[in-house]
Chains A and B, each alone.
Chain A
Amino acid sequence: QQQVKQSPQSLIVQKGGISIINCAYENTAFDYFPWYQQFPGKGPALLIAIRPDVSEKKEGRFTISFNKSAKQFSLHIMDSQPGDSATYFCAASMGQAGTALIFGKGTTLSVSS
């Protein structure tokens, strides 16, 4: 049973466009929702994260929108650049230190110039 569902699996966006990746979760005990960026041959890097007490968080060109009632959250990348081409993972976790990140299956983003 997949606890975090991510879509789309792949995404092609023109340079300067907006990239949108969506995730849905099932477990209402989750209280931390990060997005990770992974380049080929590298480890996942924490990009931005949100907790359910806020509906939106923005850091530079990256914004998380969070809908607690719908149990959904999304990543928006504004002014997408070729350097943003990577695999993006949403995740969720709960509770105390040492609890696992439950990952979505990833979205491969290609930004064409």
Chain B
Amino acid sequence: DTAVSQTPKYLVTQMGNDKSIKCEQNLGHDTMYWYKQDSKKFLKIMFSYNNKELIINETVPNRFSPKSPDKAHLNLHINSLELGDSAVYFCASSPSGWPSYNEQFFGPGTRLTVL
């Protein structure tokens, strides 16, 4: 059983399109995250949600909008895709109790290519 899953694994699309990436975790965690890994493999936080409430919203263009329908799901919708959005997007989750709340478990990633 996959702990943190993402769909799709690969996403190829044209500039200007709107796309969504879905994330689900079956670990019973309360907190979920989106990270972006650029072409140089640098990982950077985009958003985090705790119990469906937005906790972190880094300086990400407002074309990116996270949505958490319930604690087990955190989706990422991207409007008007640009070439610079090409990257690998990782979903992660963590428990909320001490001392494990820092332990983040990552999904397999979604490679987004904007043409």
Task: Name A residues whose Cβ lies closer than 8 Å to a Cβ of B.
Answer: 32, 34, 36, 38, 41-46, 49, 51, 87, 89, 93, 96-103, 105-106
Q: How large is the interface on B (under 10, 10 to 19, 20 to 34, 35 or more residues)?
A: 20 to 34
- Alpha-carbon distance between A31 and B95 when the two chains are bound, in angstroms: 17
Contact A105 B107 (CB under 8 A): no
Contact A43 B31 (CB under 8 A): no
Could you give, for residues 9-48 of chain B, a 1 whenever the CB lies within 8 Å of some chain A CB and a 0 otherwise? 0000000000000000000001101010000111111001
Count how many pairs of residues, one from A and one from B, have CB atoms less than 8 Å apart in the complex. 71
A106 and B42 contact, Cβ closer than 8 Å, known pairs A97-B50, A98-B56, A100-B56: yes
Interface hub of A34, A44, A102 (most chain B Cβ within 10 A): A44
Task: Name B residues whose Cβ lies closer than 8 Å to a Cβ of A.
Answer: 4, 30-31, 33, 35, 40-45, 48-50, 55-56, 58, 90, 92, 94-97, 99, 101-109
Which residue of B has the minimal Cβ distance to A100? B45
A99 and B109 contact, Cβ closer than 8 Å, known pairs A49-B102, A49-B103, A105-B40: no
Chain B residues within an 8 Å CB radius of A101: 35, 43, 45, 102, 104
Interchain nearest-CB distance for B17 vs A (Å):
24
Contact B40 A34 (CB under 8 A): no
Which residue of A has the minimal Cβ distance to B6? A43
- Alpha-carbon distance between A46 and B95 when the two chains are bound, in angstroms: 14
Chain A residues within an 8 Å CB radius of B40: 105
- Alpha-carbon distance between A49 and B94 when the two chains are bound, in angstroms: 14
A46-B105, A101-B104 given; name 13 further pairs at CB < 8 Å.
A32-B102, A34-B104, A41-B109, A43-B92, A44-B43, A89-B43, A93-B102, A97-B95, A98-B56, A99-B102, A100-B45, A100-B58, A105-B40
**Could you say which of B41, B50, B108 contacts A42, with CB atoms under 8 Å apart?**
B108
Interchain nearest-CB distance for B111 vs A (Å):
9
Interface hub of B94, B103, B104 (most chain A Cβ within 10 A): B104
**Could you say which of A34, A45, A103 contacts B43, with CB atoms under 8 Å apart?**
A103
